[in-house]
């Protein structure tokens, strides 16, 4: 089996966010994670070429990207496209999904990828590829490649993939007819009785679950309220003393404006967020933490008091489960400090 591997600029060892516009490039053989994957494939198949492309380039030039990938797959006489794994990197997941769609729709070539369950690329492109569940960062590379290898082996052998649960991949959204000894009405009645008994049951049509959050009541009088401004935009003190990560951040930090940023409204800091251009934030930290405007509102009496500290984290690549844990912990601190309102700025 001849395989073409798609990776982004980071795993292609071109650069980080500064090279997200790197153009579509084809390299012979394996690059980056393809080296580990090659060892697992052995007699299953061969990675004949690796496509390296910047995340921004792929997303911002869809037609050109499609043309270049189709040409590459045809020239390589590819039997399979492997994309990523992308873990929880949003734009990378979108680019991998886009590559899978091109292979599947344009050439009828099967595609395999790996993504974290909250990657936006999964929801948009799941039907074009066998996408295996992964952890939220490249720390889970070994397990992700092993899972992808299992799917590749089945495709190479022409085996039936079975259900997503059996095959170890996310549901693709396809419906297949099957024969059952019981009618749908009978299965439904059995399920209802099982549920009423309080026993474990499994629906044939799972529905998405959306958490409902009751909004807080309005602040009666903002002119008497203590207000805090926080950010997930990664505006940290100069030097990043607590080593907040640019992606998949594992912590949040509390910083006093006078001690860490040069005073209220000064906001001299450093953007460590890896998901947007930091130039303008580094020039003026108030563009990320708008403390200067809030200082003016405090002077005008439109807010009672501006809190003299802030909470900072990096939202880039953060799963909602991790964000919820941070939110609960920060909320407890806000209660202890008797803060009535919070402004959360993002990117």
Residue 339 banded pLDDT, cuts 50, 70, 90:
very high
The percentage of residues in the chain with a pLDDT greater than 70, rounded to a whole number, is: 100
Which CA distances in Å does 299 have to 276, 295, 307? 32, 6, 13
| Residue where the block lists tokens 């190479």 | 156
Condensed to tens digits (0 to 9), the pLDDT of residues 138-160 reads: 889 999 999 999 999 999 999 98
What are the b/e assignments for 299-312, b being 16+ CB within 10 Å? eeeebbebbebbbb
* Residue 337 host element (H or E): none
Q: How far apart are CA 19 and CA 63, in angstroms?
A: 20
| Average pLDDT score over the chain | 92
Give me the residues paired with residue 49 across strands.
4, 28
Q: Domains along the chain?
A: 2-167 (3.40.50), 222-345 (no CATH)
The pTM for the full model equals: 0.67
284 pLDDT higher than 90: yes
Position 66 scores a pLDDT of 95
The predicted pLDDT at position 68 comes to 97
Q: Label the pairing between strands 46-53 and 2-8.
A: parallel
pLDDT at 100: 97
How many percent of the chain have pLDDT more than 90? 72
pLDDT at position 347: 74
């Amino acid at each position: 089996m001849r395989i073409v591997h798609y990776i982004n600029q980071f795993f292609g060892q071109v650069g980080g966010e500064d090279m997200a516009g790197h153009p579509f490039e084809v390299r012979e053989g394996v690059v980056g994670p393809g080296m580990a994957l090659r060892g697992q494939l052995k007699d299953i198949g061969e990675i004949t070429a690796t496509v390296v492309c910047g995340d921004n380039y792929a997303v911002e030039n869809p037609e050109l990207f499609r043309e270049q990938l189709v040409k590459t797959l045809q020239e390589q006489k590819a039997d399979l496209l492997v994309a990523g794994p992308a873990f929880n990197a949003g734009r990378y997941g979108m680019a991998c999904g886009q590559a899978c769609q091109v292979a599947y729709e344009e050439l009828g070539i099967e595609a395999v990828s790996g993504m974290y369950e909250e990657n936006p690329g999964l929801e948009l492109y799941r039907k074009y590829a066998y996408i295996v569940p992964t952890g939220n960062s490249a720390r889970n590379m070994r397990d992700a490649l092993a899972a992808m290898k299992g799917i590749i082996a089945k495709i190479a052998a022409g085996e039936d993939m079975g259900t997503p649960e059996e095959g170890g991949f996310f549901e693709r959204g396809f419906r297949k007819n099957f024969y059952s000894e019981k009618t749908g009405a009978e299965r439904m009645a059995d399920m209802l009785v099982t549920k009423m008994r309080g026993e474990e049951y499994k629906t044939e049509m799972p529905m998405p679950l959306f958490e409902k959050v009751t909004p807080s009541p309005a602040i009666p009088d903002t002119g008497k309220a203590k207000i805090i401004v926080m950010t997930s935009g990664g505006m940290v003190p100069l030097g990043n003393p607590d080593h907040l990560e640019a992606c998949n951040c594992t912590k949040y930090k509390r910083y006093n404006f006078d001690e860490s940023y040069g005073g209220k409204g000064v906001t001299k800091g450093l953007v460590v967020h890896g998901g947007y251009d930091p130039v303008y934030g580094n020039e003026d930290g108030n563009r990320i933490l708008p403390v200067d405007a809030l200082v003016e509102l405090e002077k005008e009496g439109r807010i009672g008091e501006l809190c003299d500290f802030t909470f900072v984290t990096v939202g880039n690549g953060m799963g909602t489960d991790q964000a919820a844990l941070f939110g609960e912990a920060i909320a407890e601190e806000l209660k202890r400090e008797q803060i009535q309102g919070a402004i959360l700025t993002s990117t």
